[in-house]
Structure 1
Amino acid sequence: MSQQPEPQVRLTAWVHGHVQGVGFRWWTRCRALELGMTGYAANRDDGRVLVVAHGSREAGEKLLQLLEGGGTPGRVDKVVADWSEPTEQFTGFVER
Structure 2
Amino acid sequence: MDQIAMKARVTGHVQGVAFRAWTRSRADRLGLSGWVCNEDNGSVSALFDGEKDAVQTMIDELWEGPGAASVSDVQTEMADHDTTLKGFRIRR
Structure 2: which 5+ runs fail to align? none
Superposition deviation, residue 87 in structure 1: 4.1
What do the CA deviations read for 1:25-79 (whole angstroms, capped 9, x no partner)? 00000000100000110001001100101001100110011001x2524111000
Superposition deviation, residue 7 in structure 1: 2.8
Aligned mate of 2:76, from 67, 78, 81? 81
State the partner residue of 1:56.
Answer: 51
Q: 1:31-50 alignment to 2 at 5 Å?
A: 31-50=26-45
In structure 2, the CA distance between the partners of 1:24 and 1:71, relative to structure 1 (3 Å rule), is: closer
In structure 1, the residue corresponding to 2:8 is in which secondary structure? strand
Structure 1: which 5+ runs fail to align? 1-5
- Identity over the aligned pairs, expressed in percent? 36
Match status 1:22 vs 2:22: no
Superposition deviation, residue 21 in structure 1: 1.2
- The structure having more radius of gyration, on CA atoms, is 1
Match status 1:72 vs 2:85: no
Tell me how large the CA RMSD over aligned residues is. Answer: 1.4
In structure 2, the CA distance between the partners of 1:14 and 1:88, relative to structure 1 (3 Å rule), is: farther
Provide the C-alpha distance between the structure 2 equivalents of 1:19 and 1:39, rounded to a whole number of angstroms.
Answer: 19
Q: What stretches of structure 1 move > 3 A for 4+ residues in a row?
A: none
